[in-house]
Amino acid sequence: MKRINFQDLIIKETAEFIVINKPANISALEDRNSKLNVLALARSYLPNLQLCHRLDKETSGAMLLAKSPEVYKLMALQFQNREVSKIYHAVVNGRHGFEQEGIDLSLLHSGGKAKISRRGKPALTFVTTLDTFRNQTLVECRPITGRMHQIRAHLAAINAPIVSDSLYGGQPVFLSEFKRTYNIKQDTEEQPIISRVALHASKLEFANSAGVEIGVEAAYPKDFNVLLKQLKNYG
């Protein structure tokens, strides 16, 4: 992975906070497999920055960081009280016509995976279809709660697993599936159009210390854009 300059990730900065467009395949915190993580990058820019929430390693998109302990506490309270609006976009397998579909299924976490279980913690997600293709659908997800892998598990539970999300049954998308003229070189294996979970944190809405509502959108990264372009052209 090429060197990442934290400043290049910033999409909004004020005296209180920073919102970045997190690249995919970077952990929020240090993990066993890589020392490259959002917090380390952030503190190379400003030593006191704190993560207000997390995104899965494979998920790209809007991520909020606080510049002081006071602002961190303010944001943490908003997340706790479910006053922060989080909007995600995902490409899922299958054609679906969701209209504010509420998925109210409790989640139990075990072995790094979320499972639907009555013994789990309450979890609620609303899903709306944005665009449909031949065998895939672009959806908007609004999680009300913030459980680990909530969107991924909830979408899988309604037979709409996210593209390339093998942990929850999501299938990859190959160009050869719908482009008849596609040819692959001999002795090579075709790669999926997007090789990571096709999930992007598109927008965050929250209030600053003065009570002013802030909305910040994160543009799609290249791999997500390429997937949508190919699906629109051929799918």
Chain segment 30-66, per-residue pLDDT in tens: 776 667 899 999 999 999 999 999 999 999 999 999 9
Query: Cα–Cα distance between 231 and 143 in angstroms, integer?
Result: 25
Whether 56 is a known active-site residue: answer yes
Query: Cα–Cα distance between 203 and 189 in angstroms, integer?
Result: 36
| Token pair listed for 124 | 């609620």
**Cβ atoms within 10 Å of 61's Cβ, excluding its own:** 27
Q: Domain 6-234 in CATH: superfamily?
A: Pseudouridine synthase (3.30.2350.10)
Query: Cα–Cα distance between 106 and 72 in angstroms, integer?
Result: 28
Chain segment 175-226, per-residue pLDDT in tens: 988 877 777 777 788 899 999 999 999 999 999 999 999 999 999 999 999 9
Where along the chain do its domains lie?
A: 6-234
Strand intervals (E) in 106-151: 107-110, 113-116, 124-132, 136-143
Q: Are 186 and 196 in contact (CB under 8 A)?
A: no
Instruction: Given the residues 31, 56, 131, 223, select the one marked as catalytic.
Output: 56
